[in-house]
Amino acid sequence: MVPLGERSAKVLIVEDEFLLALQLENILADGGHAVLGTYPDAASVALLGEAPDVALVDLNLRDGLTGPAIAREIAVKFGARVIYVTANPGQIDQPAPTAVGIVQKPFSREGILSAVAYVLAGCPESARPRELEALRRAE
């Protein structure tokens, strides 16, 4: 449940591993957030009509290493904040312009919920959760 005074987020999950996607859905729902859906590949994300506040994006999906491109598309189309949820952060070639960081797999309930709370708080650098790694952006 979301504590009184905190708002909930509309969250999109981009993950092709069914059990991990289900775990993320349960964590977010138990945390009081609305899950807009779980999408396993680029073709299914292209059908998304409602704008999420936050997108949790894996990199290697059912159709290959399409997560980085999907994250950029979601950022540009909807302005959603992107949190990469991956075991392979080195595969992020060009982070989405709205990307705030990486939660490494295996993730914890606290790691996911604190990363979403960080986004809802406006991403103050002083409040970055330890589970949310900063991105390396090309200069």
Domains of the chain: 10-123 (3.40.50.2300)
When pLDDT is cut at 50, 70 and 90, the band that residue 138 belongs to is low
Calpha distance 6→46 (Å, rounded): 30
Orientation of helix 18-30 relative to helix 109-120, angle to 10°: 60
* 90 phi and psi angles, rounded to 5 deg: -65, -15
Q: pLDDT tens across 21-30, in order?
A: 999 999 999 9
Query: Considering only CA atoms, which of 60, 68, 66, 78 is closest in space to residue 11?
Result: 78
Q: What is the DSSP letter of 134?
A: P
pLDDT in tens, 26-62: 999 999 999 999 999 999 999 998 999 999 999 999 9
Side chain identity at 46, as an amino acid letter?
A: A
Element (H, E) at 60: none
